[in-house]
Amino acid sequence: MSTNSSALTVLQSVFGYDHFRGAQTEIIDEVLDGRNALVLMPTGGGKSLCYQIPSIIRPGVGVIISPLIALMQDQVDALQQLGVRAGFINSSLSSEDYSQVMRALRQGELDLLYLAPERLNQPGTLDMLAGLSIALFAIDEAHCVSQWGHDFRADYLQLSVLQQRFPQIPRIALTATADAATRHEIIERLGLHDARQFVTGFDRPNIQYRITQKRNPRQQLLQFLRQEHSGDAGIIYCLSRRKTEETALWLQQQGFSALPYHAGLSAAQRLEHQQRFLRDDSVIVVATIAFGMGIDKPDVRFIVHLDLPKSIESYYQETGRAGRDGEPATAWMVYGLQDVIKLRQMMDGSQGNEQFKRLERVRLDAMLGLCEITSCRRQALREYFGEQAPDTCGNCDACLNPAPTWDGTEAAQKALSCVYRTGQRFGVAYLIEVLGGVESERVLHNGHHRVTTFGIGSDIDKAQWQSVYRQLVARGYLGVDHASYGGLYLSERARPVLRGEETVLLRIDVQEVSTRSGRGKR
Ligand code: ADP
Ligand code: ZN
Mean pLDDT of the chain: 89
Q: What pLDDT shows up at residue 2?
A: 47
The average pLDDT across 113-119 equals 94
- Name which residue leads in pLDDT, 147 or 394: 394
Q: What pLDDT shows up at residue 486?
A: 67
Q: Give the tens place of pLDDT for each residue, 231-259.
A: 999 999 998 999 999 999 999 999 999 99
Least confident of 41-45, 302-306, 314-318: 41-45
Among all bound ligands, the one having the nearest atom to the CA of 378 is 2
Q: What are phi and psi of 505, to 5 degrees?
A: -90, 125
Q: What pLDDT shows up at residue 127?
A: 92
Q: What pLDDT shows up at residue 372?
A: 82
Separation between Cα atoms, residue 172 and residue 28, nearest integer Å? 10
- Ligand 1 contact, 384 CB (< 6 A): no
How many percent of the chain have pLDDT more than 90? Answer: 65
Least confident of 101-105, 402-406, 485-489: 485-489
Q: What pLDDT shows up at residue 520?
A: 31
Q: What pLDDT shows up at residue 142?
A: 95
Q: What pLDDT shows up at residue 386?
A: 81
pLDDT class of 509 with cuts at 50, 70, 90 = low
Separation between Cα atoms, residue 336 and residue 213, nearest integer Å? 6
- Name which residue leads in pLDDT, 346 or 496: 496
Q: What pLDDT shows up at residue 516?
A: 31
- Name which residue leads in pLDDT, 299 or 472: 299
Question: What pTM did the predictor assign?
Answer: 0.76
Q: What pLDDT shows up at residue 511?
A: 42
Q: What pLDDT shows up at residue 357?
A: 76
Residue-wise DSSP of 496-522: HHHTT----EEEPP-PPTTTTTTTT--
Instruction: Report CA(477)–ligand 2 centroid distance (Å).
Output: 27
CA-based nearest residue to 384, from 324, 323, 321, 309: 309
The average pLDDT across 172-181 equals 85
- Ligand 1 contact, 227 CB (< 6 A): no
Instruction: Report CA(11)–ligand 1 centroid distance (Å).
Output: 11
Among all bound ligands, the one having the nearest atom to the CA of 7 is 1
pLDDT beyond 90 at 513: no
Evaluate whether 46 touches 23 at the Cβ level (below 8 Å). no
Separation between Cα atoms, residue 441 and residue 443, nearest integer Å? 6
- Ligand 1 contact, 41 CB (< 6 A): yes
Q: What pLDDT shows up at residue 517?
A: 31
Q: To test ligand 1's pocket by mutation, which of 17, 51, 175, 198 has the most ligand atoms within 8 angstroms of CB?
A: 17
The complex's ipTM works out to 0.98
The average pLDDT across 473-479 equals 77
Residue of minimum CA distance from atom 18 in ligand 1: 46
Q: What angle do CA 207, 209, 212 make, to 5 degrees?
A: 155
pLDDT class of 226 with cuts at 50, 70, 90 = very high
Residue of minimum CA distance from atom 25 in ligand 1: 17
pLDDT class of 521 with cuts at 50, 70, 90 = very low
pLDDT beyond 90 at 482: no
CA-based nearest residue to 260, from 244, 284, 275: 244
Evaluate whether 36 touches 192 at the Cβ level (below 8 Å). yes
- Ligand 1 contact, 408 CB (< 6 A): no
User: How many other CB atoms are found less than 10 A from the CB of residue 478?
Assistant: 25
pLDDT beyond 70 at 34: yes
The average pLDDT across 274-299 equals 87
Q: What pLDDT shows up at residue 483?
A: 58
Number of the ligand 1 atom closest to the C-alpha atom of 45: 3
Q: Give the tens place of pLDDT for each residue, 59-110.
A: 999 999 998 888 899 999 999 999 999 999 988 889 999 999 999 999 999 9
- Ligand 1 contact, 323 CB (< 6 A): no
pLDDT class of 402 with cuts at 50, 70, 90 = confident
Evaluate whether 262 touches 290 at the Cβ level (below 8 Å). yes
Among all bound ligands, the one having the nearest atom to the CA of 396 is 2
